[in-house]
Amino acid sequence: MSHNKQKKIAVINDFCGFGRCSLSVSLPIISAMKIQCCPLPTAIFSNHTGYDSFYRADFTQHMEAYSEEWYKLGLTFNGILTGFLGSAEQIDIVKHFFEKFKTSGVVTIVDPVMGDYGKLYGSYPIQLAERMRSLVPYADILTPNLTEACILTETEYTETIDDSALEMICKRLSDMGSKYIVISGIERDDSLVNFVYEYGKKPIKIIERKIGPCRSGTGDVFSSIIAAEAVKGENFSDSVQRASSFIAKALRCTIEMNIPKTDGICFEELLTEI
């Protein structure tokens, strides 16, 4: 019996019960795009860490045995998407997963979630950020924000970075292994810029007007759409445009519904349009 008659994406990330981020975003987004989403949790959260209180259960010790059962079933994936990884051990487990399941034709998307606004997240030590670099050679597609792109390339962070410097960062990341790169959410005045780099092509910028405050889960929506479209064989820059437009529309809807900032974006209202 074959379990591989439908396109599938393995998503390695934490699961968050409330707050619209990580696997609880990827599952509905990828499913709505008519691709089976197979989650491999790294941790279980009651709600994300932006709230004053939360419950967390680490899943690291179970990840290898969990994925081994997929291997026994003979599962193959069309794509693999990784998100937040909270330890060096988890990064090593992901590398092992790539080595086991990344066969010819499998698209790998790495979202190197580490920090923002020029700083690492409080729970993310610099030693772990350095280990994250070891995943870049496995990534066909890389979706860092500016902070993460600077960390991966050991480039000094500046909010006023120009296009030539962005292109240089992308070239360094490409030299490390990734051929499709988007540096997402670069703030310029009242706009957000996604800087899109494809190996051998001139970079382009995809610009959307900034809508409200930064919210949890927007990066997960973004990377999930990119992953699903990559598996479908869609053009990379077109996929970035569609993901950016969807997020902008969802943000406008979120503001109209007066959703608290901590609760993320109400993409559910628009799933039928994706």
Range of 115's domain?
8-273
**Cβ(191)–Cβ(197) under 8 Å?**
no
Residues 81-137 have pLDDT tens digits of 999 998 999 999 999 999 999 998 999 999 999 988 888 887 788 888 889 999 999
Residue 121 located in a structural domain: yes
Q: Global pTM?
A: 0.95
Residue 169 located in a structural domain: yes
pLDDT reported for residue 1: 65
Identify the CA nearest to 194 among candidates 234, 244, 247, 242: 244
In degrees rounded to 5, what are phi and psi of residue 215? -125, 150
Residues 15-39 have pLDDT tens digits of 999 999 999 999 999 999 999 999 9
Is the pLDDT confidence value at 171 over 70?
A: yes
Burial, 7: exposed, middle or buried (Cβ in 10 Å; 0-12, 13-18, 19+)? middle
Residue 82 located in a structural domain: yes
**Cβ(242)–Cβ(228) under 8 Å?**
no
- The CATH number given to whatever domain includes residue 79 is 3.40.1190.20
Distance CA 225, CA 32 (A): 10
**Cβ(29)–Cβ(221) under 8 Å?**
yes
Identify the CA nearest to 71 among candidates 103, 44, 42, 41: 103
Q: How many domains does the chain have?
A: 1
Residue 2 located in a structural domain: no
Is the pLDDT confidence value at 146 over 80?
A: yes
Residue 3 located in a structural domain: no
- Average pLDDT (177-183) is 96
Identify the CA nearest to 113 among candidates 5, 39, 223: 223
In three-state secondary structure terms, 187 is strand
Residue 93 located in a structural domain: yes
Is the pLDDT confidence value at 73 over 90?
A: yes
Residues 185-229 have pLDDT tens digits of 898 888 999 999 999 899 999 999 888 888 888 999 999 999 999
Residue 247 located in a structural domain: yes
Residue 1 located in a structural domain: no
User: What number of residues does the chain have?
Assistant: 274
